[in-house]
Amino acid sequence: MINALIEELVLRKDENKGESIETIYFGGGTPSILSNEEITVLIQTITAHYTVVENAEITLEANPDDLSTKKIKELASSPINRLSIGIQSFFDDDLKFMNRAHTASESKKCLSKALKYFDNITIDLIYGVPNMSCEKWLANLEQAFAFGVPHISSYALTVEEKTALHSFIKQGKVPPIDEKLALEHFNILVEQCEKQGFVHYEISNFGKPGYFSKHNKSYWLGEKYIGIGPSAHSFNGVKRSWNVSNNAKYLKEIQENKLPSQFEILTVNNRFNEYIMTGLRTVWGVSFDTIEKEFGALYLEQLKTNVQPFIDKGLLKIQHHSFSNNTLITTKKGKFLADGIASDLFLVDEV
């Protein structure tokens, strides 16, 4: 698999010629099983065939049970300079409910050790868990603040079909997801993070100044990216592509010097809708200048008409800038509903 990843990197080296790589992200699965030698050879392949900026952000995703003291020390001596740790909760009953392999004590132990070796760490926390009181959710956040992590990604619990949780809810063994509870948790999250000096720069992301995720920020701002490996997605501004998810098929295609991917060319409406969706999730919002420049005056006029009901309800507002045109952003009340608002603003027919 490592050899195939290297081969794919080489096969795709001319895709974004002239572009600089600012972030490298090892994620999706369990990249923490990689040895330092494997991480290094992958990064060396990237630097040999792509233009990588100095001090690029290089992140690795890991779960607490994967991060032994030995592993943390090893990673600290590798080119990795940012860790993303899937804590999810500091309570064992929540972790059991979410079917996580690690324990609360493993979370605390690995976080204590990781912070001795890494300055740039983000943790994931899940809210909206059935039967989780607001006091318990606050205790989760206070534990994170006590560790002093500079970045928190926090998501509402979602129920996927064909999962054990979906089955338990259908059988009545577990209460269904409570939107009202999730909103209460979200409001606590926003309030407490802001008190602690975090900037709420994206709906699910809170960073201390200087610790925003450069990798995720580029995605929300619609920048290009290349995804390597089975199931990986890529985007070059107008075309989205995705690799086959089957490992055996992926390896076979790569061995035959073929790219194991499919693609779609995004229509103007697709690109407009994606910009609205990602823009409304961030503090940077949706720029009227960008809409007019990228899509034309008719799209801007249509947007201005369509957003008015949401402005009237206090869910969206127009931020006026002296240095540029206006920006559309969600209000405090509208933040939790950003995805739903965006979908209501999507255009189906060409303007």
51-62 and 20-26 beta bridge pairing: parallel
- Cβ burial of 336 (10 Å; 0-12, 13-18, 19+) is buried
Q: Distance from first CA to last CA of the chain, Å, rounded? A: 45
174 versus 12: which is more confidently predicted?
A: 12
- Cβ burial of 46 (10 Å; 0-12, 13-18, 19+) is buried
Average pLDDT rounded to a whole number, residues 345-349: 89
Same domain, 212 and 272: no
CB 239 within 8 A of CB 271: no
Of the candidates 82, 4, 15, the one whose C-alpha atom is nearest the C-alpha of residue 42 is: 4
- pLDDT at residue 3 tops 70: yes
Q: Distance between CA atoms of 312 and 350, rounded to whole angstroms?
A: 26
Average pLDDT rounded to a whole number, residues 195-220: 94
Same domain, 187 and 128: yes
Report pLDDT digits (tens) over 213-246.
Answer: 999 888 888 899 999 999 999 999 899 999 999 9
Same domain, 50 and 192: yes
Secondary structure (3-state) at 23 = strand
Same domain, 53 and 145: yes
Token duo for residue 251: 């390896």
Per the structure, the count of domains in the chain is: 2
Same domain, 273 and 179: no
Same domain, 132 and 277: no
pLDDT of residue 163: 67
Average pLDDT rounded to a whole number, residues 312-323: 86
Report pLDDT digits (tens) over 27-73.
Answer: 987 888 999 999 999 999 999 999 999 999 999 999 999 999 999 99
Of the candidates 324, 265, 269, the one whose C-alpha atom is nearest the C-alpha of residue 302 is: 269
Token duo for residue 125: 């926390």
**Does residue 28 sit within a domain?**
yes
**Does residue 305 sit within a domain?**
yes
What is the SS3 string spanning 143-199? HHHHHCCCEEEEEECCCCCCCHHHHHHHHCCCCCCCHHHHHHHHHHHHHHHHHCCCE
Is residue 179 very low, low, confident or very high in pLDDT (cuts 50, 70, 90)? confident
**Does residue 249 sit within a domain?**
no
Same domain, 163 and 297: no
**Does residue 239 sit within a domain?**
no
Phi and psi torsions of 287, nearest 5° = -80, 125
Of the candidates 148, 91, 140, the one whose C-alpha atom is nearest the C-alpha of residue 114 is: 148
Same domain, 214 and 281: no
Q: How many CB atoms lie within 10 A of CB 147?
A: 16
Same domain, 185 and 287: no
- pLDDT at residue 168 tops 70: no
pLDDT of residue 189: 98
- pLDDT at residue 165 tops 70: no
**Does residue 235 sit within a domain?**
no
Secondary structure (3-state) at 239 = strand
- pLDDT at residue 184 tops 70: yes
Report pLDDT digits (tens) over 261-294.
Answer: 999 999 999 999 999 999 999 999 999 999 999 9
Helix or strand (DSSP H, E) at 317: strand 316-319
The CATH number assigned to the domain holding 320 equals: 1.10.10.10
Q: How many CB atoms lie within 10 A of CB 39?
A: 22
**Does residue 148 sit within a domain?**
yes
pLDDT of residue 166: 59
DSSP secondary structure string for all residues of 35-60: -HHHHHHHHHHHHHHSEEEEEEEEEE
pLDDT of residue 174: 67
* Residue 286, amino acid: V
Same domain, 24 and 105: yes
Q: Distance between CA atoms of 192 and 291, rounded to whole angstroms?
A: 34
**Does residue 12 sit within a domain?**
no
Q: How many CB atoms lie within 10 A of CB 241?
A: 18
The CATH number assigned to the domain holding 45 equals: 3.30.750.200
Same domain, 64 and 208: yes
Of 186, 204, 220, which closes a domain?
A: 220
Report pLDDT digits (tens) over 77-120.
Answer: 999 999 999 999 999 999 988 888 999 999 999 999 999 999 99
Q: Distance between CA atoms of 102 and 68, rounded to whole angstroms?
A: 12
Of 195, 220, 245, which closes a domain?
A: 220
8 versus 179: which is more confidently predicted?
A: 8
Token duo for residue 174: 């577990």
Q: How many CB atoms lie within 10 A of CB 333?
A: 13
State the angle between helix axes of 2-11 and 36-49 in degrees (0 to 180), rounded to the nearest 10: 10
Of 151, 186, 220, which closes a domain?
A: 220
**Does residue 289 sit within a domain?**
yes
Report pLDDT digits (tens) over 115-161.
Answer: 999 999 999 999 999 889 999 999 999 999 999 999 999 999 977 77
pLDDT of residue 350: 72
Domain that holds residue 321: 268-345
Same domain, 160 and 300: no
Of the candidates 280, 277, 347, 293, the one whose C-alpha atom is nearest the C-alpha of residue 319 is: 280
